[in-house]
């Protein structure tokens, strides 16, 4: 197995580890994690740990793609596993943040719905011998989601010190770009969708 594929698998493995760290019942085992105060903003150590795990996993997404393209190590497994790893990582964190009421449910619903529609579009295109490459909107969506999640985990620091809602803007903008990306994918397969109506 080449290095890019190992990085992809590492990213997938980090997803359940991150979830376990985030949802572990620390109180039940009398484990008290500190909460740091930065100006008027509280920042729990747990958020910092989860943020670091998520940032490392997100960086492997950038790294495996760069290595695969530069060294000609693009494989069928990589094409299959890389987008799955991305969605597992991002969507898992989005769901947890929504359940914990750290972000609104609406943008999460929009982004998850988009992923479902895009998966359907790709399957339909594949059945008709058409390959749909990842577009600019899709790549931008992933970057916005990753940075949005990082700033949400950091309670919008350092921007919270100046009351600039960067985390909220990134999450909502990611949902907008996500919808645009989904529309772009759908338009590429619309002829197959409506051919037998």
What is the 3-class SS of 13-26, one letter each residue?
HHHHHHHHHHHCCC
CA distance 11 to 165: 29
3-state helix, strand, coil in the chain (%, to 5): 75, 5, 20
| Complete domains list, the chain, with CATH | 3-193 (1.20.120.1760)
Please give the helix or strand (H or E) that residue 59 lies within, else none: helix 45-70
| The two structure tokens encoding residue 1 | 């197995």
CA distance 131 to 89: 24
| The two structure tokens encoding residue 86 | 């991305």
| The two structure tokens encoding residue 186 | 């759908």
pLDDT truncated to tens, each residue of the chain (197 aa)?
A: 888 889 999 999 999 999 999 999 999 999 999 999 999 999 999 999 999 999 999 999 888 888 888 888 777 777 778 888 989 999 999 999 999 999 999 999 999 999 998 888 778 777 777 666 667 788 899 999 999 999 999 999 999 999 999 999 999 999 999 999 988 888 887 776 666 55
Look up the pTM and report it. Answer: 0.92
């Amino acid at each position: 197995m080449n290095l890019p594929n190992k990085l992809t698998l590492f990213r997938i493995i980090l997803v359940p580890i991150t979830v376990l760290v985030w949802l572990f019942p620390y109180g039940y085992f009398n484990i008290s994690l500190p909460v740091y105060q930065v100006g008027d903003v509280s920042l729990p150590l747990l958020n910092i740990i989860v943020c670091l795990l998520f940032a490392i996993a997100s960086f492997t997404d950038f790294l495996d793609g760069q290595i695969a393209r530069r060294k000609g190590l693009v494989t069928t497994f990589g094409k299959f596993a890389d987008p799955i790893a991305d969605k597992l990582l991002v969507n898992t964190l989005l769901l947890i943040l929504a359940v914990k009421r750290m972000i609104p449910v609406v943008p999460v619903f929009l982004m998850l719905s988009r992923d479902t529609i895009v998966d359907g579009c790709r399957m339909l295109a594949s059945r008709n011998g058409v390959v749909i490459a990842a577009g600019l909107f899709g790549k931008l969506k992933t970057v916005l989601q990753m940075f949005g999640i990082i700033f949400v985990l950091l309670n919008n620091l350092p921007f919270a010190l100046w009351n600039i809602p960067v985390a909220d803007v990134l999450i909502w903008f990611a949902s907008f770009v996500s919808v645009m990306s989904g529309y772009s994918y759908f338009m590429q397969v619309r002829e197959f969708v409506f051919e037998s109506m």
